[in-house]
Structure 1
Amino acid sequence: MGGSSSLVTVSDGDAVCANVNWQADWIWFGDEAAPFHYFLYVKRNFDLAAAPAAAALHITATDRYRLFVNGVYLGRGPERCDARFQSYDTHDLSEVLRAGGNCIAVQLYFYGCSTGYTRDGRGGLLAQLETAGDGKLDGPRTIIGTDERWRVRPAEAWQRDARPTGGALGVTEVYDARADPVDWMMPEFDDSTWASAQVVPASAGEWCSRPAPRHVPFLLEDEARPARVLGTGEVLEIERARTTVDIPELMAREIHQELQYARLDNAEALTADDEADFTVAATSPHALGDDVFNGIHDPIVLLDFGRQINAYPRFTVEGSAGSIVDMTYSEQLIGGRIAPLLCSTRFGDRYILREGLQTFESFEYKSFRYLQLTFRTDATPVKVHSVSANTWRYPAEVRGRFESSDEVLDRLWTACVVTTDLCTDDAFMDTPMREKRNWLGDGSHAVLGAIATWGDVSVIRRYFTLATQGGLGDGLPRMFFPGSDSRDPATGIIKVIPHHAVVWAARVWEYYRYTGDADFLDEMYPTLIGLAGWCDRHANNDGLLDRLPGWCWLDWTPSDIRGANFGTNAFMLGMLDDMAKIAHVLGRAAESVTWAKRAERVRTSLHDLYWDEARGVFQDSLIRGRPTGVASELGNALGLLLGIADAEQRPRVAGCLESGAEWLARATPLFFHYVAQALFDDGRGETATRMVRDRFEPMLSISDTLWEDWFRHAQVSHIDETMADVPDVVPEGRFETVVPSHRGHARALAHCGAVGLGFMLLTEVLGIQPKEAGFDGCVIKPRLGVLDHAAGTLPTRRGDISVSWRQSGKHKTLAVSLPDELEGELHLPAGDIVSLSPGDQSLDVS
C-alpha cells in the first residue's frame, strides 16, 4: 500500500492522522477465510530506543477487535461498516509506549454468521503504528505495520460449537478460562510457539484500498453496579447441565426453587461499591434424611441494575477449576424471572473457571436491566468479589430539555432521551435488545430523537451515509445496512422492505432544515434519484406504488398494506416534495420542476382514489383499483401532513382522528408521532396532547423507555399480499373480521421508532422551529393553550434555544432565550408576530 503518513496529531483526547498512507498488509491465519465464531490472538513485540513524543496506532478489522498495548486495554472497534467502505480507528499510544520492549496485542473476532455490524466478508486485521521518536516531534519516525512478522494463535477458550443467538446479535459465549493463557497480551509473555501471520492478498478480500477514518467518536465505557438483589434461590441440575453449549435453553428449562440445599452467603454485598464478600456453593450431592439422594442443586442470584443498560456483564470470582457461572439477561421479568428465550432470540452465556482469582467480561455487549447468575460448583465454594457491568454508550451531552405541568409528558420526554441513548452505539439501532441493526424506516425516527436530545452529532450523518452505501444496484437501499442480508429461503433473493426506503427518505430534508448542511444534500441526492427511479419502475398508471416486491411492512398496526397502499405512497409523495426543494437548493431548477410535477400527480391520485365519503377518511389500499375498506390513523395523518386532504376533507379527517373511531387502525408507538403532528398542524393541539397522554400513560407508568408496541407480549398483524384467502374488500372495513388482530409475541421495550415524540414536544408544544435552514433565524410558535406550564431547550448548530411559558387564569407569561447573533420571531396564537433578539427576553402574552 506504499507511501508515508503525516505526523500524528492529537485532538480532544483522540489521536488522529489526517493522511494515513498504508504500508501495512491485511493479515489472517487459518485455512478458512470466513470461519464461524472464530477468535484469534494477534501480537507484535518491538523495541524503541526512547519513549516516543507522539505515537498513533491505526487499526481496523473484520469483524471486531479488542486492543491491548503493553498489557493495557485501550479500546475496541471498528465501527460497523462494509469491507467495501472499511473504516479504521486511531488510538493515541504516546502515554503507553516506552523505551525498550513494547507489545501490541489484539483479540480479533470473526462472526461467521448473521450480524448487524458487517456484511458477510472474510476475516482479517490491518494495523499500522506510527511514532515520532527519541522524545522529539521531529525525531526519527518508526512505522510498524501488520505483516508476516506478527504472531498469531487461534483462541481455544470459546467453544465454537455454540449456536447463534438469533437477531444478528452474535453467538452464545461459552468460555473455558482453562484453555487460553490469561497473560497472552503482556510484553513478557512468550509467544515463540505461536505461528506467523498470513498476509492476505488484496485479491482475496473486498476491503477498500484506502480505509476511511472513523466517522463517530469512540464510545464510552464505564462501570455500573447492581442497584439491588431481587432474589436468590436454586435450580435442580438436569441432564447435560454442565456440558451443554445451549445455555439459554438450559436456563429456560430449569425450575427455580427457594434455597434449601445450595448455599448463598451475604448476597446483598453484591450491590456494594467496593469488593463484595459473597460466597456461593452447591452443597450437593445432598442426602435428604439418611439415604434419599436428592440431586445437585445450583444456587442462583437475580440482580437488578435499576435501569436498562447496554453493557458487557463482568464479574470477579475465585474458585476451583471447572466450576461454572452461567448468566442470562433481559430488559424485563416475566413471572418474577428472566425468560432466556424471547423475541426469537436466545439470551445466555457461560464462564468456566480456571483455578484461583479471575475476572470475566463478555465479548459482546448485551442490553438488559436484569442479570441472573447461576453457579455450578463442586465441593469448593466460589467466592464472588464483585459483579458489575461495563456500560457502552455514545458520548454525547444531553442538551435538549423539556418539563411541564403534565407529569405524563415529562415522563415521555425522559423516556425519549433514555431510549435514544439505548438505541445508539456507532449507528442507530431499532432495538439493542433484539438485533442491533441499523434499520431504515422506523429506525430513521432516531434522527429526530438525536436532534432533540443531543443536537447535530456525527452519528446522525453516519446513519444516512450507511444507507447510501447499502444500495442493491437498482436504486433501492437495503432495509438495514450494514449487516448480513436476509434472504428468502426458497429463492435466495435478498429480502427488502420498499416502504422503509421512502420513510427513510423523509428524514433527509428534515435533517437539512435543522443543520443547513448543503453538502449533505449533495451527498444524499444521487441516492434519492436512484430511489425515485425505482419507485417509477414500480408505479401503476396512476403514478402509485403498487404490488411491491419483498416484505410489505409499514407499522405493526391492523391495517391493509396490499396493492397500492396509501401510507407508502404518501411517504413517496413526501420524498418527491422534498426532492423538488433539494434540487432547488442545489441549483437544479429543471429537476426541481420535474420532481414537483411527479409529486402533484401522486397527490392528486391519492386525493381522488382513496377517499371514503361516507366515513370521511382515506382508505388504506387499493386492489385492482378498488378500495379495500380498511382505514388507519397513520394513513389519514399523512393525508393531513402532506396536503392530500382538501379544505373540505381536512376537518372530517382530523375529526375522525380526534374521535378515536374503533374501526380506524391505530398507529403503534413507532409511528404515532405522525398522528400527533397532524393534529398539531390542524390546530388541534389540545387533542394531540390528550391523545399522547392517554396512549402513553399506561406504558410510562411502569417504564422509562419507549416500547415497540402498546403491548409487551402481543403483536398486531396487518393484511398483506401473503394472505391469499382475505377478500379484496374487507367486510365493514374492520380488520378483525378477516384476521385475528393479536397474537402472542414479545415486543422490544426500548425501540428508537417511538422517539420522534421527544422532537415533537420541542418543535410543536414549545414551537421551536428554524426560519431558514440551519437556524439562520428561528420561529417560536408556542402552543400556549395546551398546558399550564412548559419549558425546554432545543439544541441547534447556532446554540441552544430555550422557551418557557406559564399561565395562571388569563395571565400568561413567556420567556425566550436565543444564542448570540441569532434573531427570531415569536408567533402568538392571536396572529401577532413579535421580533426576538439574541439573549434572554420575557413577555406578557395575556
Structure 2
Amino acid sequence: MVAASGPALGVTPDGHGDWRTFIEAPATRDLSPTGVVSTSGNVRNATALTTADDTDSITLSYAEGGPAPVIVLDYGKNVGGTTSFDVVSKSGLPTLRSSYSETLKNLSETGDYTNQFSPTTLRYDTFPVTRVGTIQGSGIQGAERYQMITLLTPGSVTLSRVRIHFTGELGTADTLRGHFLSSDDTLNRAWYASVYTVNLNQMMPGGSNGPLHLLLDGAKRDRSVWSGDILASGPTVYAALDPVYVRDSIQLLGEHPATVADYLLPAVGTSAVPGPMPGVCQPNVETPACMTFSMSYSTVFVPVLADYVRYTGDMTFAAEQWANVVRVLAWTGQQRDAKGLITTTSTNGKDWKVDDHTGEATWNNLIYYAALTDGAELASALGRDAAASAWRTQAAALRTAINTHLWNPTTGVYDISDSSNGAIAQDANTFAALTGVADPVRSTQILGVLDKRLQHARGHLAYAEPAPAGEGQQLSTMMSGWEVMADLDAGRTTAALDLIRREWGYMLRQDPGGTTWENIPMTGDLDGAHSAAHSWGSLPAAALSRYVLGIRPTTPGFDTFVVAPQPGDLSWAAGDVPTPYGPVSINWSQGAGCRYTVDVTVPPGTTATVSIPGGKTISGVTPGDHRYMGQPAC
C-alpha cells in the first residue's frame, strides 16, 4: 500500500505534484515590497525599497511650491500587519503619509476605505518626521497589497527600508494542518486562497483581545467577530488550521448574553434566563464590545458551536456553553407565531446582507431549524436526552410549518418570506437543501432551479433577475459557498465544482489575487468599501476537503468518520484532513476503464467507513494504511 502524503512531504506519492507551490501565505513575517508601481515628483532611487540591501536608500523631496513626491509600492499579494519606516536622514520639516489599499484601483492618498471598527478608523498613517530611526505605524492595517508614500509638507526624507510586519497566522507548509491537491489547478488555488484569507483574519493573542485567538470577518473591514461569518469560516479552519480560533471566538460571544436582538445594541443580559446572543464582538478597542445584530445572528450561535464540537470533540467546551444553548433556543422559540414559524420585526430582522426582513422570513426560520437540530445533537452528546428529544420534536414541527407555508409550488422554490412571494433567493433555497428541510428529491429540484435561474458569467446571483424591490443584487461569496456545499451534499458534484471555478476563479484572476472577496459587485469591480479578504468567502476549502477528498466526522471529534470521495470531473485528488487523533490522509485516482483506486490512512483511535467512487462501501476500517480498488465506473 502506498499511503497519501502528509503535509511535510509535499509531493503526492504518485508524482502528481507539490501542494506547497499553491500556498499563498508569505514565508516570513517581515515583508518588503516586491515592486514599484509608479512614482511622481522628486523620488530618487525608487527601487531601493524592493531590494534586500539595507545600505541602499530612496529619497523623497518636496520643494515649496513644487509637486509632492509620490511612490506606489506593491507587496505582490494581499498582506496585513503593522508598517514601519527606517529613516536614515531628513531635512526641513517633512510630514510623511502612508496609505493602504487591497486593490490598485481603489488606492488614494487616504487609502481605500474609512473603517469605523478600526482603532484609528483610517486606512492611512501620517508621521511628522522629526528624527532618524524607525517610525512605526499606529496600528494593524489588516489587508493591503499596495502602499502609497508621499510627503505632505516641504522637506526631504531618505528611507533605507519600508516593511510590513505580518500579524495574522502564517499558513505555511510547516504550520498547515491539512492540505489539498487535485487535477484542477483552479480548485487548488481556490483551496489555498480560502485558507490564506482566513489566515489574514486570524487575530493572534495580545493587545486588546488579551489571551484570545479570534476569527475576524474581514481583514480590512470590520475586523470584528461576527457569529454568522464564523458559521462560514469555521469549516475552513477545521480543514487546515487551529480550531482554537473558533473556540475562543465562541467563548467571547458566549460571555456576553443579551436581552434583545435589535440592531447594534450593547449585549447586556444573563445566561440564567432565555434571551438572545450577540451577533458581533469588536475586539479592536480597549475593552471588547459585544453587540446584538439580529435574531438570525443570535440563533446561529448554536450551529457554530455544534460544528466546532463535531470537528474537535471538545465536549468540555460544549458543556461550558450549554446554558447559552438552552437560553437562545428558548428565547427564539418564544418568537413563534400561530403557524409555528418565528417572526422578525423591523428592529431584529437584519440578515447577512444587512437587509431587513420582517414577518416569517424563510432564511431566519431555516437558521432556527438548524439550531434546533444541532442543539439536539449537542444535547445527545452531552447525555441530556430530554432536551434532545424536545428539540427534535420542535424541529419536526418547524420543518412542517416551513414546507406548508413558505414553499411556492408555482416557482418550485421557497419564497423569501410570507410577504415576499415569487422571487428566487439563493439563501433561502440553499439552506433549505443544506438543513434537510427540503427532502432529497426537493433539494435536487431547487438546486437545479438555482443553477438555471441564478446563472451569471462570474458565478451565481443572490436573486434571480429581476431582483425583488428593496433587495440589492450581488454575487455573494458566502451564499455561493453554501450553495457549493448543498450541491455536494446532494451529489451534484460537477455543478459544485463548476461554481467554484467560475466564482472563485474570477476573484483569483482579479487584483489583488490570492484571497476571497466579501462579494462580487454587479460591475465585477470590488469597491473600496468591501473586503478583498473576507473570511466568509472561504468555504471552498472546507467543501473540497469534506466532499472531494470525502472526509467527514460521523461522531464528535472523528471517533468515527466517513471517507467518501466525490470525483465529479476530476481524475485525481489527494490531501490531509486534520483530526484530534492526527491527519486522515487520502489519495484517490481514476485509472484505466474508469476504475478508482483509493489509498487512505486511518489514524490511531478512530474507525472509518470508506466508500469507493462507483463501487462498494467498507465499514469498520481500522487504523493503518489501506488501498481499495473499485469496479469500472464508466
Tell me whether the two structures share a fold, i.e. TM-score over 0.5: yes
Structure 1 position 766 matched with structure 2 position 549: yes
> Residue 623 of structure 2 aligns with which residue?
838
Structure 1 counterpart SS, 2:83: strand
**Closer/same/farther in 2, CA of residues 506 and 343 from structure 1, 3 Å limit:** farther
C-alpha deviation, 1:336, in angstroms: 7.2
CA distance in 2, matches of 1:519, 1:228: 49
Structure 1 residues 134-163: Cα deviation after superposition (integer angstroms, max 9, x where no partner): xxxxxxxxxxxxxxxxxxxxxxxxxxxxxx
**Closer/same/farther in 2, CA of residues 571 and 825 from structure 1, 3 Å limit:** same
**Closer/same/farther in 2, CA of residues 667 and 316 from structure 1, 3 Å limit:** closer
Structure 1 counterpart SS, 2:626: strand
C-alpha deviation, 1:376, in angstroms: 4.5
1:50-449 pair list within 5 angstroms: 222-234=29-41, 263-282=42-61, 284-285=63-64, 295-317=65-87, 318-320=89-91, 322-334=93-105, 340-342=111-113, 346-355=122-131, 357-367=132-142, 368-376=144-152, 378=154, 381-394=156-169, 397-425=175-203, 426-449=213-236
**Percent identity (aligned):** 25
**Closer/same/farther in 2, CA of residues 438 and 309 from structure 1, 3 Å limit:** same
Structure 1 position 478 matched with structure 2 position 278: yes
What is the aligned counterpart of 1:501 among 284, 298, 301? 298
What is the aligned counterpart of 1:671 among 479, 491, 510? 479
C-alpha deviation, 1:446, in angstroms: 2.1
> Residue 494 of structure 2 aligns with which residue?
686
> Residue 505 of structure 2 aligns with which residue?
697
Kindly indicate whether the alpha-carbon contact (under 8 Å) linking 1:479 and 1:500 is maintained by their aligned counterparts in 2: yes
Task: Tell me the TM-score normalised to structure 1 length.
Answer: 0.61
What is the aligned counterpart of 2:251 among 449, 452, 465? 465
Structure 1 counterpart SS, 2:567: coil
**Closer/same/farther in 2, CA of residues 609 and 599 from structure 1, 3 Å limit:** same
> Residue 824 of structure 1 aligns with which residue?
608
Structure 2 counterpart SS, 1:653: helix
Q: Which amino acid aligns with 1:458?
A: V
Structure 1 counterpart SS, 2:558: coil
Kindly indicate whether the alpha-carbon contact (under 8 Å) linking 2:170 and 2:199 is maintained by their aligned counterparts in 1: no
> Residue 263 of structure 2 aligns with which residue?
none
More strand by share: 1
**Closer/same/farther in 2, CA of residues 278 and 311 from structure 1, 3 Å limit:** same
C-alpha deviation, 1:699, in angstroms: 1.1
CA distance in 1, matches of 2:112, 2:146: 14
Structure 2 counterpart SS, 1:350: strand
Kindly indicate whether the alpha-carbon contact (under 8 Å) linking 1:713 and 1:745 is maintained by their aligned counterparts in 2: no
What is the aligned counterpart of 1:593 among 389, 405, 429? 389
**Closer/same/farther in 2, CA of residues 654 and 774 from structure 1, 3 Å limit:** same
CA distance in 2, matches of 1:495, 1:821: 41
Kindly indicate whether the alpha-carbon contact (under 8 Å) linking 1:806 and 1:812 is maintained by their aligned counterparts in 2: yes
Kindly indicate whether the alpha-carbon contact (under 8 Å) linking 1:669 and 1:707 is maintained by their aligned counterparts in 2: yes
C-alpha deviation, 1:268, in angstroms: 0.6
More helix by share: 2
CA distance in 1, matches of 2:95, 2:356: 51
C-alpha deviation, 1:577, in angstroms: 0.9
C-alpha deviation, 1:794, in angstroms: 0.7
**Closer/same/farther in 2, CA of residues 221 and 573 from structure 1, 3 Å limit:** same
Comparing 273-282 with 656-665, greater Cα deviation is found at 656-665
Residues matched between the structures, number: 549
Q: Which stretches in structure 1 are left out of the alignment for 5+ residues?
A: 1-219, 235-262, 286-294, 486-492, 716-742
**Closer/same/farther in 2, CA of residues 266 and 602 from structure 1, 3 Å limit:** same
C-alpha deviation, 1:565, in angstroms: 0.7
Kindly indicate whether the alpha-carbon contact (under 8 Å) linking 1:479 and 1:501 is maintained by their aligned counterparts in 2: yes
> Residue 430 of structure 2 aligns with which residue?
637
Kindly indicate whether the alpha-carbon contact (under 8 Å) linking 1:536 and 1:543 is maintained by their aligned counterparts in 2: no
Structure 1 position 799 matched with structure 2 position 582: yes
Higher RCO (CA 8 Å, separation ≥ 6 residues) = 2
Kindly indicate whether the alpha-carbon contact (under 8 Å) linking 1:560 and 1:621 is maintained by their aligned counterparts in 2: no
**Closer/same/farther in 2, CA of residues 680 and 343 from structure 1, 3 Å limit:** farther
Kindly indicate whether the alpha-carbon contact (under 8 Å) linking 1:282 and 1:296 is maintained by their aligned counterparts in 2: no
CA distance in 1, matches of 2:320, 2:533: 31
> Residue 260 of structure 1 aligns with which residue?
none
In our comparison, the structure showing a higher alpha carbon Rg is: 1
C-alpha deviation, 1:696, in angstroms: 2.1
Structure 1 residues 35-69: Cα deviation after superposition (integer angstroms, max 9, x where no partner): xxxxxxxxxxxxxxxxxxxxxxxxxxxxxxxxxxx
C-alpha deviation, 1:483, in angstroms: 5.1
Kindly indicate whether the alpha-carbon contact (under 8 Å) linking 1:769 and 1:778 is maintained by their aligned counterparts in 2: yes
Q: Which amino acid aligns with 1:657?
A: L
Structure 1 counterpart SS, 2:578: strand
Structure 1 position 579 matched with structure 2 position 395: no
C-alpha deviation, 1:338, in angstroms: 6.3
C-alpha deviation, 1:467, in angstroms: 0.9
C-alpha deviation, 1:757, in angstroms: 2.1
Structure 1 counterpart SS, 2:476: coil
CA distance in 2, matches of 1:581, 1:416: 28
> Residue 784 of structure 1 aligns with which residue?
567
Comparing 475-484 with 304-313, greater Cα deviation is found at 475-484
> Residue 8 of structure 2 aligns with which residue?
none
Structure 1 position 706 matched with structure 2 position 476: no
What is the aligned counterpart of 1:541 among 330, 335, 338? 338
C-alpha deviation, 1:468, in angstroms: 0.5
**Closer/same/farther in 2, CA of residues 313 and 651 from structure 1, 3 Å limit:** closer
**Closer/same/farther in 2, CA of residues 459 and 651 from structure 1, 3 Å limit:** closer
Q: Which amino acid aligns with 2:351?
A: L
C-alpha deviation, 1:378, in angstroms: 4.2
Structure 1 residues 100-159: Cα deviation after superposition (integer angstroms, max 9, x where no partner): xxxxxxxxxxxxxxxxxxxxxxxxxxxxxxxxxxxxxxxxxxxxxxxxxxxxxxxxxxxx
C-alpha deviation, 1:435, in angstroms: 2.3
C-alpha deviation, 1:484, in angstroms: 8.8
What is the aligned counterpart of 1:602 among 386, 398, 421? 398
> Residue 725 of structure 1 aligns with which residue?
none
C-alpha deviation, 1:745, in angstroms: 7.1
> Residue 655 of structure 1 aligns with which residue?
448
CA distance in 1, matches of 2:543, 2:577: 11
Structure 1 counterpart SS, 2:358: coil
1:562-577 pair list within 5 angstroms: 562-577=358-373
> Residue 17 of structure 2 aligns with which residue?
none
CA distance in 2, matches of 1:800, 1:806: 20
C-alpha deviation, 1:343, in angstroms: 6.0
C-alpha deviation, 1:369, in angstroms: 1.2
C-alpha deviation, 1:785, in angstroms: 3.7
Q: Which amino acid aligns with 1:773?
A: P
Q: Which amino acid aligns with 1:314?
A: S
CA distance in 2, matches of 1:744, 1:704: 17
Q: Which amino acid aligns with 1:310?
A: G
**Closer/same/farther in 2, CA of residues 280 and 228 from structure 1, 3 Å limit:** same
C-alpha deviation, 1:766, in angstroms: 1.0
Task: Tell me the TM-score normalised to structure 2 length.
Answer: 0.81
Q: Which amino acid aligns with 2:338?
A: N
Kindly indicate whether the alpha-carbon contact (under 8 Å) linking 2:613 and 2:630 is maintained by their aligned counterparts in 1: no
**Closer/same/farther in 2, CA of residues 560 and 359 from structure 1, 3 Å limit:** closer
Structure 1 residues 363-412: Cα deviation after superposition (integer angstroms, max 9, x where no partner): 31112111111134645x32211111122123662121111111221111
